[in-house]
């Protein structure tokens, strides 16, 4: 239970950090806004032309009599839009992180510099295109895993009583776990931690992960909230990643640092450093 509170504490610290760093917060909003516009345009297009797409895909219903044709195609149109909306919810964080890779890398590095004792941050030795490729590949793998869980929980939802009580709660915790994986990947990928090792780290501290990701996932259900919470979520996930790896520092996240436009990225004067990649199968360096 203590880890649950610690995970939620990292989420709050991340939001406080971006509140004190106005420029980082402003840049961090851009990817979410871009993703929101793209998704909104796609959903509007689906609403406008979804019926035509369904009619094109069901030519066998052209000769149906009475109301059956309209009912059948109307039902399929509603299902198509619902699936599009579900896909948008499931992929919003991954797409936002992919679009905002340079923005969130900079934000995460600034958090690392701010809370480290020597004012340095781990940096990736990979070129940007390689980082984008790894992020897209790992996000697809996580989406497949989340999809399998989604199908399983959907099927269990038909179980009387448990399907309407226990299954939704389990679903929120599963969502919180995968959401935390996507967000901590920004900091962990810079440290050379591969997807399999990241999942092992998260599983080793499930209560900590749930304390961070589950309330964030619930907040993301409110329209547009995800856009405004994303910068602070990345900052908090960086603090969470540091705890998972057993890295020291972090006491200064709520300190008396002067509120500036971008204190975290330039004010510490430290040079960046690259941490050695942990060996495969090792849960975390220093743990």
Residue 119 lies in a domain: yes
Instruction: Provide the domain limits for residue 198.
Output: 2-57+68-249
Decide if pLDDT at 274 tops 80. no
Does 261 map to a domain? Answer: no
81 or 272, which is more confident: 81
Query: Shortest CA distance to 237 belongs to which of 212, 259, 262?
Result: 212
The tens digit of pLDDT for each residue in 256-268 reads: 444 444 444 333 3
d(CA 275, CA 118): 14
The separation between CA 78 and the C-alpha centre of its own chain, rounded to angstroms, equals 27
Question: How many whole angstroms separate alpha carbon 104 and alpha carbon 275?
Answer: 19
Paired tokens of 109 = 């590095």
* CA–CA dist 99, 93 (Å, integer): 10
Q: Give pLDDT tens digits for 92-147.
A: 888 888 888 888 988 999 999 999 888 788 877 777 778 878 888 888 888 888 88
- What does the pLDDT read at residue 248? 62
Predicted confidence (pLDDT) at residue 285 exceeds the cutoff of 50: no
Question: CA-CA distance, 24 to 264, in Å (whole number)?
Answer: 9
The confidence score (pLDDT) of residue 142 equals 85
The answer, yes or no, to whether residue 234 has pLDDT greater than 90, is: yes
DSSP 8-state code for residue 48: H
Give me the half-sphere count of Cα atoms (radius 13 Å) on the Cβ side of residue 228: 8
Quote helix, strand, coil % in the chain, to nearest 5.
Answer: 75, 0, 25
Does residue 266 lie within any of the structural domains?
no
Helix axes 22-57, 2-20, angle to 10 degrees: 110
Pair of tokens at residue 229: 């919470």
Euclidean distance between CA atoms 214 and 221, whole angstroms: 11
Please write the tens of the pLDDT for every residue from 149-199: 888 887 887 788 887 788 888 988 998 999 999 999 999 988 888 889 999
Domain membership of residue 257 (yes or no) is no
Dist. CA 24–CA 234, nearest whole Å: 11
Domain-located, residue 258: no
* Within-domain flag for 88: yes
Q: What is the pLDDT of residues 49-76, one digit of tens each?
A: 988 888 898 888 888 877 888 888 888 8
Predicted confidence band of residue 286 (pLDDT cuts 50, 70, 90): very low
Taking 50 as the threshold, does the pLDDT of residue 6 lie above it? Answer: yes
Residue at 122 is within a domain: yes
pLDDT for position 249: 54
**Apex 218 CA angle, 36 and 131, nearest 5:** 50
User: Is position 208 within any domain?
Assistant: yes
Total number of domains in the chain:
1
Which pLDDT score, from 0 to 100, does residue 255 have?
A: 43
- pLDDT over threshold 70, residue 22: yes
Is residue 266 a contact partner of residue 215, using CB atoms and an 8 Å limit?
A: no
Examine the pLDDT at 5 and tell me if it is beyond 50: yes
């Amino acid at each position: 239970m203590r880890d649950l509170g610690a995970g939620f504490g990292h989420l709050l610290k991340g939001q406080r950090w971006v509140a004190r760093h106005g420029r980082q917060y402003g840049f961090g909003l851009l990817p979410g806004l871009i993703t929101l516009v793209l998704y909104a345009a796609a959903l509007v297009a689906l609403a406008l032309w979804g019926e035509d797409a369904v009619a094109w895909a069901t030519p066998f219903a052209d000769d149906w009599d009475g109301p059956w044709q309209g009912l059948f195609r109307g039902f399929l149109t509603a299902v198509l839009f619902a699936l599009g909306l579900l896909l948008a919810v499931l992929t919003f964080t991954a797409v936002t992180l992919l679009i905002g890779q340079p923005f969130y890398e900079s934000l995460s590095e600034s958090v690392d510099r701010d809370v480290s004792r020597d004012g340095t941050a781990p940096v990736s030795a990979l070129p940007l295109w390689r980082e984008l490729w790894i992020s897209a590949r790992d996000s697809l793998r996580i989406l497949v895993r989340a999809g399998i869980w989604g199908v399983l929980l959907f099927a269990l939802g038909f179980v009387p009583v448990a399907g309407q009580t226990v299954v939704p709660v389990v679903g929120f915790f599963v969502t919180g776990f995968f959401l935390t994986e996507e967000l901590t990947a920004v900091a962990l990928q810079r440290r050379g931690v591969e997807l399999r090792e990241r999942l092992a780290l998260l599983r080793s501290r499930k209560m900590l992960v749930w304390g961070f990701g589950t309330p964030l996932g619930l907040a993301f259900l409110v329209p547009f909230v995800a856009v405004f919470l994303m910068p602070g979520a990345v900052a908090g996930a960086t603090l969470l990643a540091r705890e998972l790896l057993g890295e020291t520092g972090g006491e200064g996240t709520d300190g008396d640092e002067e509120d500036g436009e971008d204190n975290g990225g330039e004010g510490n004067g430290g040079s960046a450093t690259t941490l050695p990649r942990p060996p495969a199968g090792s849960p975390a360096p220093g743990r």
